[in-house]
Amino acid sequence: MSEIHAHTTLYVRDTMIDQQVPPLTQKGAVKWVRENLVSSWLNIVLTVLSIAAVWYIISHLAPWFLNSIWNAGSLTECREILAAHSLVGEAGGACWGVIRDRWTQLMFGFYPPEFYWRSILALVLLFVALLPVLFPQQISSRFYILSAIYPFVMVWLLWGGSFWTPVLTMAGFGAGYLAYRIAFPVGGAIAATVAAILGTLLWWIVAMPLINDTLHRVVAESRMQETRAERVLLQETLPPQIAEIDAVRTAITAEINETVTRKNDILRPILAEQMRRSAVPLLAEVSDLFANLSDQSPAPDLVPAIISAKRLFLPFATERASESLAPLLTEIKATVAVNITPDNLADVQASIAPLKAQIVEAQTIADADPMPDASLAAAQAEFDSVMQHLTRLRESLTALGADHFRLSEQKRAADGLVRNIDTLTQNVANLPDLRATAEEARANLPESVALLEAVPSGGARSAYEAADLTALQSVLNAEQGLITADVAVRSTYNEVGRIGLQPVPSSAFGGFQLSLIIGITGIVMSLPLGILLALGRQSNLFIINKVSVGFIEIIRGVPLIVWLLTAQFLLNYFLPPGTTFDLVLRVIIMVTLFASAYIAEVVRGGLAALPSGQYEAADALGLDYWRSMRLIVLPQALKISIPGIVNTFIGLFKDTTLVLFIGLYDPLGLAGTIRASTDWNGIYWELFIFIGVLFFIFCFSMGRYSKYLENKLQRENR
Amino acid sequence: MADAATDREIDHSQMKISDEVAIQVTSMNKWFGTFHVLRDINLTVYRGERIVICGPSGSGKSTLIRCINRLEEHQAGTIIVDGTELSSDLKNIDKIRSEVGMCFQHFNLFPHLTILENCTLAPIWVRKTPKKEAEEIAMHFLQKVKIPEQANKYPGQLSGGQQQRVAIARSLCMKPRIMLFDEPTSALDPEMIKEVLDTMIQLAEEGMTMLCVTHEMGFAQAVANRVIFMDQGQIVEQNEPREFFNNPQSDRTKLFLSQILGH
């Protein structure tokens, strides 16, 4: 081999060539355009077509957006404003007045306005709590503590209650840890885990309500009379305040009515002038047309032209006709609208003959009293300012309405609390008696009706003795009395003894806030659950494997809406009787379970994509299962799964809109409510665009973060 | 190729074989499904021994050493490593694995961790070594395999030979008493094989007990004290290297040697 080479080697390079710059057309913008826009004829055609399509869409949408109306209290007013600026005919305009009017509702649902700050603070803190998780390299790991306590703070801020409730809830984990430490030396890891879970649950279910009630009672008893005095004072001071607000409301309502009248007065001449202006050229045209029609013998090609005269008047029909021109134009329209055929042409001509004179008259009117451009502009400006004023008035009226509602609620609550405090001693004293009576009566109940929960009515009654039913009725009454007294005592203690935020019921939650609560909680909880399910599905342990597979397949195989309806209607059947279980919480659980099944499958894909050598290397180093998963397998598998996981998150977040079907008011549900009101009946684009943009912002941010994370991890591992 | 490992004097001063048994495999059998992959393997490895296992592909040599740290489960017979018998007891398995280092054909470094993190991971999490101390140990062994300057890079940025040396350093950081090598040079360019073999020779010179599945016959001749030839899941022949290469007994061994040395 080497001998052959010795004879054929004719060339040996002695210097190496240095790097050189590429030619001009092969770099920079020129290269980019050449390669990406005009690289072939097909590419050129596609480029031109795409630009044309984009232009077509933008040119049709832009005027609508540019003619945005913000100062309107109803759809009708929106249309008036568009008409006043003669914008009705073409693209029209976007009526964002609905957003201005209802955006708080779209954002917060029926959450009390005086507590919006709690909701906003919760959102701001969310971002603070997310930072250490999202950007672990830039932020010290000490701040993870913020992320860990955030969920409890969030629940407390949003739902309210005493400040010790979140603390006690967190203490549950402490109880679990304590149980773990105690059980570990005795029973090993598995027993300790069971003990930890049991300890936590025991704390939450048994110890926490006890401590909570006791704290409330202690605090309540220490300041019962003070609180009563405060509330009595409120009972006295609130009614005058409410009356004051009502007076202002009446005044503003009167001003609004007045302003509406003024607005209409300004609007009328503006519309008339605009009609006149558009009528001038049209009248001339119509007059020419009619002249042709009556003077000449009928030319067939003229017929469609006459019919199209009808179309010329259509813009008029949609505007408010002024008194002088309207009847005439209507008549012309009616006449020309008749389908002209050679047979009825004579009739048409006959009926048009008198109109000709009227057209001349109309032209005279139209030319007679033109409003100068300056006056029109001034009138329009005045109209706009009146509209603005009107919108402000309406806003202050809405605010006053909210105040009125809040004070009335406070008054009602004060009435109730004072009543409860006054009867508290009595109620507390009565409780043992009531309980004894109820229990005794229940024990002595005749066997035939002992299992009934209600007194049967109608035909069903005949199956029981009348005396037995009477006994049952008295038992039920006694139990009802007991419950009423018990609830009165409990709520009094809770109300007086609360140190913290006023509670807000879940039924008040709504709007984008609700979507965020469900979406984010679902996202945060479904990821760990999904990872566990994925590991379970990969596990060699038969039971764990099959349970995971079954869970994933069942949850995934049934539509989310079915699970939500299950949460709404069926879940109570599976819970012990008497448990009330917040609907929002139920929805969160269902959404979490649903998303975790998807996450599990995505993560399983990541686990499967990992070369088996990684598992083996981890094993060979002596790492146990959980460590090798946590340190070696999951970091890599999750990295592979990021796009799929974020995709699932985005899907989950958008799926929160499904809660509208179970009676929760997410933004879409509220859109329905808003559209059902008389003011905004018939509006849809603006509302749905707004809601869409809200969702888009969040989903798009998630998508960008996923991209950032992918790039970052890609860089690290290269 | 075979000469790659022998271009320097091997220092035999510390290569001492003691009477202590490091690994005892007794009538071990293994099946993959119904395929009888290892048949009645009996093997005693004394501390300080350097054993090269060779044989045609599919002869079960990789499976044999993977059974020793339980990456594969054997179905019959016993394996005793450092006095601990391998059974399904997870604690025993983890104990043995932390005493037995292993290098793979495809290195199996953790791509999401830096070289240093790769080396400190097991000491920190398994041995509970403090992070600082673990890093010192890691740097010591990275020095030894001659790539301390790569400590903060990621495995993907290193050449194959460098990666394999990191893999060796990673195993050494656990201070193993036995090292298993599963074809450590088969996935490498010829230029890189030498640097890995040099590292392995250095290890042998320090008296490490080593079991190497490899086709580097130069390495076997220079370092090994025993060569085992396997075929069809059985040990066909074992002998000290000189005898093994110059005077093979079985026909199967002769055929094998003629094929790998003849080209």
DSSP B172-238: HTT--SEEEEESTTTTS-HHHHHHHHHHHHHHHHTT-EEEEE---HHHHHHH-SEEEEEETTEEEEE
For A197, half-sphere exposure in the C-beta direction (CA atoms, 13 angstrom radius) is 5
Q: Does A632 touch chain B (CB under 8 A)?
A: yes
Q: A475 falls in which pLDDT band (50, 70, 90)?
A: confident
pLDDT by residue (tens digit) across A1-56?
Answer: 445 555 666 788 888 888 888 887 777 888 888 888 888 999 999 999 999 999 99
- Angle at CA of residue A492, ends A487 and A497, nearest 5°: 130
pLDDT by residue (tens digit) across A387-409?
Answer: 999 999 999 999 999 999 999 99
Contacts B111 to A, Cβ<8 Å? 636, 717
Give me the sign of the Cα torsion angle B106, B112, B118, B124: negative
Contacts A622 to B, Cβ<8 Å? 94-95, 97-98, 122, 126, 174
Residues in CB range of A24: below 8 A, 6 or more apart: A30
Question: Where does A313-372 have alpha helices with state H?
Answer: 314-318, 326-337, 345-368
Q: A435 falls in which pLDDT band (50, 70, 90)?
A: confident
Between CA B245 and CA B222 the distance in angstroms is 12
Q: Do B108 and A622 touch (CB under 8 A)?
A: no
Q: Do A631 and B95 touch (CB under 8 A)?
A: no
Residue with tokens 């306590």: A149
Question: For an interface test with B, which of A540, A614, A621, A718 has the most B Cβ atoms less than 10 Å from its Cβ?
Answer: A621
Residues B116, B151: contact at Cβ < 8 Å? yes
Question: For an interface test with A, which of B92, B96, B112, B164 has the most A Cβ atoms less than 10 Å from its Cβ?
Answer: B112
Between CA A86 and CA A80 the distance in angstroms is 9
Helix pair A326-337, A345-368: axis angle to 10 deg? 160
pLDDT by residue (tens digit) across A505-525?
Answer: 888 999 999 999 999 999 999
Q: Do B125 and A631 touch (CB under 8 A)?
A: yes
Cα B198 to Cα B151, B158, B170, B180, distances in angstroms: 20, 18, 17, 16
Between CA A64 and CA A94 the distance in angstroms is 6
DSSP state of A567: I
Q: What pLDDT, on a 0 to 100 scale, did the predictor assign at position A316? A: 41
pLDDT surpassing 70 at residue B128:
yes
Q: Tokens representing A331? A: 């008549």
pLDDT by residue (tens digit) across A81-126?
Answer: 888 887 765 567 888 989 998 999 999 999 998 899 999 999 999 9
A414-432: average pLDDT: 88
Query: Helix, strand, or coil here: B76?
Result: strand
Q: Tokens representing B162? A: 């460098």
The closest of A162, A232, A224, A220 to A411, measured between CA atoms, is: A232
Residues B166, B109: contact at Cβ < 8 Å? yes
Residues in CB range of A584: below 8 A, 6 or more apart: A506, A509, A514, A517, A518, A664
A654-677: average pLDDT: 90
B17-28: average pLDDT: 90
Q: Do B121 and A621 touch (CB under 8 A)?
A: yes
> For residue B91, what is the nearest residue in chain A, using CA coordinates?
A624
Q: Do B71 and A619 touch (CB under 8 A)?
A: yes
pLDDT surpassing 80 at residue B36:
yes
Between CA A614 and CA B111 the distance in angstroms is 9
Q: Which helix (H) or strand (E) holds A580?
A: none
pLDDT surpassing 60 at residue B2:
no
Q: Do A621 and B111 touch (CB under 8 A)?
A: no
How many A×B Cβ pairs under 8 Å?
Answer: 69
A676-698: average pLDDT: 91
Which residues lie across from B84 on neighbouring strands? Answer: B81
Rounded to the nearest integer, the mean pLDDT of chain A is 84
pLDDT surpassing 60 at residue A309:
no
Q: What is the largest CA-CA distance in chain A?
A: 127
pLDDT by residue (tens digit) across A168-192?
Answer: 999 999 999 999 998 888 877 788 8
A362 vs B146, which has greater pLDDT? B146
A690-715: average pLDDT: 91
Q: If interface means Cβ-Cβ distance under 8 Å, which residues of chain B face chain A?
A: 69-71, 90, 94-95, 97-98, 100-102, 104, 106, 108-112, 121-122, 125-126, 154, 156-157, 170-171, 174
pTM of the model: 0.82
A14 vs A310, which has greater pLDDT? A14
Q: What is the least distance, in Å, from the CA of A633 to any CA of chain B?
A: 9
Q: Tokens representing B30? A: 């293994």
Contacts B171 to A, Cβ<8 Å? 620-621
Between CA A518 and CA B97 the distance in angstroms is 46
Q: What is the least distance, in Å, from the CA of B219 to any CA of chain A?
A: 24
Q: What is the least distance, in Å, from the CA of B112 to any CA of chain A?
A: 5
Q: What pLDDT, on a 0 to 100 scale, did the predictor assign at position B4? A: 46
In B143-163, which positions are buried (b, 16+ CB within 10 angstroms) versus exposed (e)? ebbebbebbeebbeebebbbb
Q: Do B126 and A622 touch (CB under 8 A)?
A: yes
The closest of A123, A186, A202, A204 to A520, measured between CA atoms, is: A123
The alpha carbon of residue A129 and the mean position of all alpha carbons in its chain are separated, in whole angstroms, by 22
Q: What is the least distance, in Å, from the CA of B178 to any CA of chain A?
A: 12
Task: Indicate the burial class of B49 (C-beta count within 10 angstroms; 0-12, 13-18, 19 or more).
Answer: buried
Q: Do A631 and B101 touch (CB under 8 A)?
A: no
Q: Tokens representing B38? A: 């290892």
Q: Do B126 and A614 touch (CB under 8 A)?
A: no
pLDDT by residue (tens digit) across A517-574?
Answer: 999 999 999 999 999 999 999 988 899 999 999 999 999 999 999 999 988 888 777 7
Q: Which helix (H) or strand (E) holds B74?
A: none
pLDDT surpassing 90 at residue A332:
no
Q: What pLDDT, on a 0 to 100 scale, did the predictor assign at position B217? A: 87
Please spell the DSSP secondary structure of A268-297, one letter per residue: HHHHHHHHHHHHHHHHHHHHHHHHHHHHS-
Q: Do A614 and B157 touch (CB under 8 A)?
A: no
Rounded to the nearest integer, the mean pLDDT of chain B is 88
Q: What is the least distance, in Å, from the CA of B10 to any CA of chain A?
A: 29
Q: What pLDDT, on a 0 to 100 scale, did the predictor assign at position B149? A: 92
Which residues lie across from A399 on neighbouring strands? Answer: none
The closest of A84, A86, A77 to A267, measured between CA atoms, is: A84
pLDDT by residue (tens digit) across A617-629?
Answer: 999 998 888 899 9
Q: Tokens representing A265? A: 């007065």
The percent of residues in chain A predicted with pLDDT above 70, rounded, is: 85
Q: Do B95 and A717 touch (CB under 8 A)?
A: no
Query: Helix, strand, or coil here: A261?
Result: helix
Contacts B157 to A, Cβ<8 Å? 718
Q: What is the ipTM of this complex?
A: 0.91
Residues in CB range of A264: below 8 A, 6 or more apart: none
Q: What pLDDT, on a 0 to 100 scale, did the predictor assign at position B207? A: 87
Residues A648, A595: contact at Cβ < 8 Å? yes
Q: What pLDDT, on a 0 to 100 scale, did the predictor assign at position A93? A: 84
Between CA A659 and CA A519 the distance in angstroms is 11
Give the torsion through C-alpha atoms of A266, A268, A272, A277, to 10 deg: 40
pLDDT surpassing 50 at residue A376:
yes
Q: A313 falls in which pLDDT band (50, 70, 90)?
A: very low
Between CA B74 and CA A473 the distance in angstroms is 74
> For residue B121, what is the nearest residue in chain A, using CA coordinates?
A631
> For residue B103, what is the nearest residue in chain A, using CA coordinates?
A617
Q: Does A662 touch chain B (CB under 8 A)?
A: no
A322 vs A284, which has greater pLDDT? A284
